[in-house]
Chains A and B, each alone.
Chain A
Amino acid sequence: MIQVGFRFLEHTADVYVEAWGPTIGKSFEDAALALFEVMIDTSTVKPTKRETIVVEARDKHELLYKWLEQLILKFEIDNNVYSRFQVEKIEMRWKIFHLEATIYGETYDGERHPSRVGVKAITYHRMAISERKGKTTLRFILDV
């Protein structure tokens, strides 16, 4: 299996994603790409706009939830879509996890970005984060 990537698992009503990478940061990047792949064809997105995202959480599950939620909000409120994600750091300070990332994309344009299904929310249902030596695998369900 390739080192980084994601795939969609079987789930009757919603979208069940598995994403993986050599580090938790890389796996979070794939999770983000999977999220936008549900909504659009990310190969059509030009990474011209650059933004910074900062997320804080009490544990890694919450960190994943809030990271993806921020990205949904970037789409829903700012009307942007993204195709490149770079997690700069994930660290723990005073028992709180901090994530900082740079994301690249552009304004959503229905003409240039053929649409798929909208993601309404990320859920904790069956969310799993498994960290083994050299490989982190994430599983989560998107409410569509």
Chain B
Amino acid sequence: MATSIFQNVPSGLGSRRKDFRVSGAELDKIALEGVNWLIEKRGLGWPEDPNYCEENGFMKNADPEKVSKTAKDRGESQIGTLGSGNHFVEIQKIDKIFDTQTAKAFGLMEPDQITVMIHTGSRGFGHQICSDYLQVMERAIDKYKISLPDRELACAPASSNEAEDYYKAMASAVNFAFSNRQAITHWVRQSFEQAFHAQADKMGLKVVYDVAHNIAKIEEHAVDGSIKKVIVHRKGATRAFPPEHPAIPSAYRSVGQPVIIPGSMGTSSWVMVGAPHAMDITWGSTAHGAGRMLSRTMAKKSFWGNEVKKELESRGMVVRAASSVVLAEEADPAYKNVDEVVQVSHDLRIATKVARLVPLAVIKG
């Protein structure tokens, strides 16, 4: 099963697809229409999938004309690829359910049920957009006479043309990321079909939720007693909207937004649910994962990729990795304990525990 996914979803350094490439014009469509285009025109998914994706699978204000040709060149062969670093696909099972009613609403029925978690983003397309607009913002700080403590913090006033163009380009990258994960979802379903000789829908491989954890959104929040439009930048953070928020899919609206917290390699991951207090103290957000504790350099000095693999295998996990160096860098002790991170969120009532998932197989870049 893991081998099948490893073959069907290119991962690792410079991963690109040979069987699925989009033209420049098609990439513009993906940037504009997100997962809907992939599903309708290329058949990579089910009609109901967008319902379970943040923004229903596409941000409306995207404009591919604000994206450079270089970014598009980087993106053309990267739809449906995992990339490297901390990106992964994991086959998991439910270990324990903490909130039965909410879990049921998300389709997480009982312990030992199989789940798949996909962690990747906008790949080179998004990174090039960032890099291109860094140059634009560099000029903007002179133009608007902004002084900065660090050059990487280049910016422009929210109402400026520079900021508006950036927002349209960023939204294109978000749509690319939704589409990338949608395409991987499709090939994961196909891998299950190949392995079990059964149809994905019969096996219940529905999308629980797709949500970004590095994104700027224009949202309305209470500030000093009145509702104001603000830009919320969630970087290393993920959205955690409470029950009844209109941005949540109707199927989940009464319980709250699913929050997905990936753990480090070989440890548990979590599904949580957004809670009302998040709107009071964290702009409707929570942490998105365990977070690193050791640098990659330290991790490489401390662990060998092959030993990391053996250790995981000795615990019954299947590991398919494109690079053994990445396995060392991503070794579990390099990260904080995800269970503690989740507990903080739970105790603060910004997102509360729904289910703990444990890994059976990991596919790494």
A12 and B294 contacting across the interface, CB-CB below 8 Å? yes
In the complex with contacts A117-B329, A118-B365, A126-B150, A76-B124 CB distance below 8 A: yes
A-B contacts, 18 of them at CB < 8 A, read A10-B295, A11-B295, A11-B296, A11-B297, A12-B293, A12-B294, A77-B74, A116-B325, A117-B326, A118-B12, A118-B85, A118-B365, A120-B124, A121-B131, A124-B134, A124-B151, A125-B152, A127-B151
Q: How far, in whole Å, are A11 and B150 apart by their CA atoms in the complex?
A: 17
Q: How far is the CA of A13 from the CA of B319 in the complex (A)?
A: 23
B150: A residues at CB distance < 8 A: 124-126
**When the two chains form their complex, are residues B325 and A118 in contact, meaning their CB atoms are under 8 A apart?**
no
The 4 closest A-B pairs by CB, nearest first: A124-B151, A115-B13, A125-B152, A118-B84
Q: Are B124 and A69 in contact (CB under 8 A)?
A: no
A110 touches B127 (CB 8 A): no
* Proximity string of chain A (97-122) to chain B, C-beta cutoff 8 Å, 1 when within and 0 when not: 00000000000101000111110111
Counting contact residues on chain A (CB < 8 A from B), the size range is 35 or more
Kindly list chain B residues whose C-beta atoms are within 8 Å of the C-beta of A120: 83, 85, 124, 127
B154, B293, B297: residue with the most chain A Cβ atoms closer than 10 Å: B297
Q: Are B14 and A79 in contact (CB under 8 A)?
A: yes
Tell me if A40 is interfacial: C-beta within 8 Å of chain B. Answer: yes
Q: How many A-B residue pairs have CB under 8 A?
A: 96
Query: Known contacts A115-B84, A127-B151: does B13 contact A39 (CB below 8 Å)?
Result: yes
Closest to B324 in A: A114
A73 touches B74 (CB 8 A): yes
Interface pair A121/B294, CB less than 8 Å apart? no
Contacting residues, chain A, for B325 (C-beta < 8 A) = 114-117
Which residues between 84 and 132 of chain B lie within 8 Å of chain A, taking CB atoms? Answer: 84-85, 124, 127-128, 130-131
Asked if B8 lies at the interface with its beta carbon under 8 angstroms from chain A, I say no
Residue of A39, A75, A118 ringed by the most chain B CB atoms within 10 A: A118
Chain B positions within 8 Å of A108 at CB level: 13-14
Contact yes or no, B296 A117, CB < 8 A = yes
Q: Is the CB of B13 within 8 A of A143?
A: no
Q: From residue 282 to 325 of chain B, which have CB atoms closer than 8 A to chain A? A: 292-298, 322-325
Which of A62, A120, A143 has most chain B Cβ within 10 Å? A120
Whether A76 contacts B74 by the Cβ 8 Å rule is yes
- Asked whether A44 is an interface residue with its Cβ less than 8 Å from the other chain, the reply is no
A8 / chain B contacts, CB cutoff of 8 Å: 297
Where the two chains meet, the residues of A that have a C-beta atom closer than 8 Å to any C-beta of B are: 8-16, 39-40, 61-62, 69, 73, 75-77, 79, 108, 110, 114-118, 120-127, 143-144
Q: Which of B73, B83, B151 contacts A77 (CB 8 A)?
A: B73
Nearest A residue to B15 via CB reads A118
Q: Are A73 and B295 in contact (CB under 8 A)?
A: no
Q: In the assembly, what is the distance between CA of A11 and CA of B12, in Å?
A: 22
- Starting from the known contacts A116-B325, A124-B152, 16 additional A-B residue pairs (CB-CB under 8 Å) come to A8-B297, A11-B295, A11-B297, A12-B295, A13-B295, A15-B297, A73-B74, A110-B14, A115-B12, A115-B84, A118-B13, A121-B127, A122-B131, A124-B151, A125-B151, A126-B150
Closest A residue to B83 using CB positions? A118
Residue ID in chain A nearest B321 by CB atoms: A115
Give the distance in Å from the alpha carbon of A127 to the alpha carbon of B151 in the complex: 8
How many Å lie between the Cα of A120 and that of B294 in the bound state? 20
Chain A CB count within 10 A is highest, among B13, B73, B150, B329, for B13
Which residues on the A side are within 8 Å of B73 (C-beta)?
77
**In the complex, are the beta carbons of A110 and B292 less than 8 A apart?**
no
Among B85, B128, B152, which residue has its beta carbon within 8 angstroms of that of A117? B85
Report Cα–Cα, A121/B152, bound state, in Å. Answer: 12
Contact A144 B296 (CB under 8 A): yes
Tell me whether A73 and B12 are in contact in the complex, defined as CB-CB below 8 angstroms, given that A10-B298, A117-B323, A120-B127 are known contacts. no
